[in-house]
Amino acid sequence: MDEQRFSLLTDFYELTMCNGYYKTGLSKTITYFDVFFRRVPDGGGFAIAAGLEQVVDYIENLKFSPEDIEFLRSKKAFSDEYLDYMAGFRFTGDVYAVPEGTPVFPGEPILTVRAPAAEAQILETFILLTINHQSLIATKANRIVRAAKGRAVVEFGARRAHGPSAAVLGARAAYIAGCAGTSCVLADKEHGIPSSGTMAHSWVQIFENEYEAFVNYCKMYPQNAILLVDTYNVLKSGVPNAIRAIKEVLHPQGITRCGIRIDSGDMAYLSIKARQALDEAGLTDCKIFVSSSLDEHLIGDLIAQGACIDAFGVGERLITAKSDPVFGGVYKLCAIEDAQGKVVPKIKISENVTKINNPHFKKVYRLFENPSGKAVADLICVHDETVDSSQPLEIFDPDENWKRKILTDFTAKELLVPIFKDGQKVYQTPAIQEIKEYCKHQIDLLWDEVKRFENPHNYYVDLSQKLWDLKQDMIEQGRLGGS
């Protein structure tokens, strides 16, 4: 990561607030900020946290060059003392976060920053843009992967992504969430995501005829020959010419691993007819790939119609999360420390109930039923609380308080892990394949009812009694004009 490129990737008011903290003597006040989101995209039952690796790199390398300082000086909005401080900026605080690939739910902290105010504030923009983007794409990609029911999904979205970084990091997030690979070569180079591809219609068009195009491709890429059959007519020319080329070029070499791709038309009908033609020609090992504006709903419909499809290439509707393209994560102050080091909770109150945040420095427990091993609820607690799994625990649905669970045989696991301590990284970032496998395992721990696309079960995320009472008291104080 080029830290110089991202040092000023922040909202202007972050800098003006930090300047204000410095001038009013508050810059060293220890603050606690939570990152959380309020709604799962697409009405889903859960989201997937992603982007932590890039946040870690950013924080570890964040500094301001002399050119940055002179640019800020030219804005005539900052004191010389503050700019001198910025010239020697280094992060000295703590960060806690859920590991990438963890299923997460609205309202719970997925990342917490504890740091002096002038440090914590300036991290907001980059943390949010990174966590919001990759969590959004990971959540969408996993919906698509689950809709494919074990068939491979390859991310094809680079040309539709909202800029170069979105293409590369979107491919990364999609891979974590279950995609088999990407079309983006830079994502392969930078992140080790397997890149692959077939051919475009231009390859077929540039040759004298379709058959010649297929023959040449098979000769050049015999171990990875996937032929695009819809340039002219899938069933009348594309599939017959593909069969002819495969049998003449690949079979004499003993190669049966090959495929065709359909990029337009009625894919259910065309894939069924193409499968029949391939099988009748003895090409039973030839796979059928499809692409073209796919998403979880279209893929589900194709499978329900009996389409003979082995793998999907999914582009624009994945890489842009087209159906619901905003994750909506926020970065909110939840506590400060007073001069004696005591944690003082803070709250944001609003007439919009969803915008009232949970105060205090917190931890999150995920609760698993011991008989099934499945996750049944999350409990948000004050940082000094622990969950005693030897005692029954009552959990309420925060949206419908009359709904409750009483857990008696369960295991509690803390979700947030230390990432930075006193400015030093204490977390070993896993390899991307490890993150991918972790993500799959964690999703397998959710009940199928939570994973439904339509009307998913409302997963319980409750507050401990201590945190609930504190929040209600602070809301009441706010109504009375208190702080």
Tens-binned pLDDT, residue by residue, of the chain (483 aa): 454 579 999 999 999 999 999 999 999 999 999 999 999 999 999 999 999 999 999 999 999 999 999 999 999 999 999 999 999 999 999 999 999 999 999 999 999 999 999 999 999 999 999 999 999 999 999 999 999 999 999 999 999 999 999 999 999 999 999 999 999 999 999 999 999 999 999 999 999 999 999 999 999 999 999 999 999 999 999 999 999 999 999 999 999 999 999 999 999 999 999 999 999 999 999 999 999 899 999 999 999 999 999 999 999 999 999 999 999 999 999 999 999 999 999 999 988 888 899 999 999 999 999 999 999 999 999 999 999 999 999 888 766 665 678 999 999 999 999 999 999 999 999 999 999 999 999 999 999 999 999 999 999 999 999 999 999 999 998 766 655
Of 292, 309, 339, which residue sits at a domain end?
Answer: 292
Instruction: Specify the DSSP element, H or E, that contains 94.
Output: strand 94-97
| Domain-located, residue 163 | no
Q: What is the DSSP string of 439-483?
A: HHHHHHTS-GGGG-SSS----EEEE-HHHHHHHHHHHHHHHTT--
Of 277, 292, 307, which residue constitutes the final position of a domain?
292
Distances (CA, A) of 156 to 41, 236, 324: 21, 27, 19
Q: What is the CA radius of gyration of the chain?
A: 26
Structure tokens at 397: 């649905």
Measured distance CA(378)–CA(327) in Å, rounded: 20
Q: Are residues 370 and 439 both part of a single domain?
A: yes
Residue 401: predicted pLDDT: 60
Domain stop point among 292, 314, 339: 292
Q: How many domains does the chain have?
A: 2
3-state secondary structure 11-42: CHHHHHHHHHHHHCCCCCCEEEEEEECCCCHH
Residue 164 domain flag: no
- CATH number of the domain where residue 19 is located: 3.20.140.10
Q: What is the CATH number of the domain that holds 244?
A: 3.20.20.70
Q: Are 411 and 460 part of one and the same domain?
A: yes
Whether residue 122 lies inside any domain: the answer is yes
Q: Answer whether residue 308 is part of any domain.
A: no
| Residues 98 and 19 grouped into a single domain | yes
Q: How many CA atoms lie within 13 A of 329 on its CB side?
A: 30
For residue 263, give its domain range. Answer: 197-292
Whole-angstrom distance, CA of residue 25 vs CA of residue 448: 52
361 domain-assigned: yes
Element (H, E) at 90: none
Is the C-alpha dihedral spanning 318, 320, 324, 326 positive or negative? positive
DSSP H helices, 320-464, are 432-444
Q: Of the candidates 442, 445, 462, which has an alpha carbon nearest to the alpha carbon of residue 400?
A: 462
DSSP at 249: I
Q: Environment class of residue 42 by beta-carbon count within 10 Å: exposed (0-12), middle (13-18) or buried (19+)?
A: middle
Q: In what order do the strands lie in the sheet with 258-262?
A: 181-182, 152-155, 311-314, 286-290, 258-262, 226-228
**Are 92 and 230 within one domain?**
no
Are 285 and 341 part of one and the same domain?
no
Same domain, 117 and 225: no
* 130 and 251, same domain (yes or no): no
Residue 175 lies in a domain: no
One domain, residues 252 and 344: no
Same domain, 381 and 253: no
Confirm whether 313 is domain-assigned: no
**pLDDT value at residue 351:** 84
Are 216 and 285 in a shared domain?
Answer: yes
Pinpoint the alpha helices (H) of 52-193.
52-61, 66-74, 80-87, 117-120, 124-147, 164-176, 185-191
H-helix or E-strand spanning residue 354 = none
120 and 17 co-located in one domain: yes
Plot region of 76 (φ>0 → left; ψ -120 to 50 → alpha; else → beta): left
CA 372 to chain centre: 27
> Between the CA atoms of 243, 246, 247 and 252, what dihedral angle is there, to the nearest 10 degrees?
-170
Contact in structure between 461 and 106 (CB atoms under 8 Å)? yes
First to last CA, the chain: 41
Whether 354 is covered by a domain: the verdict is: yes
3-state SS assignment for residue 438: helix
**199 in Cβ contact with 207 (< 8 Å):** no
Q: How far apart are CA 44 and CA 450, in angstroms?
A: 8
Same domain, 281 and 339: no
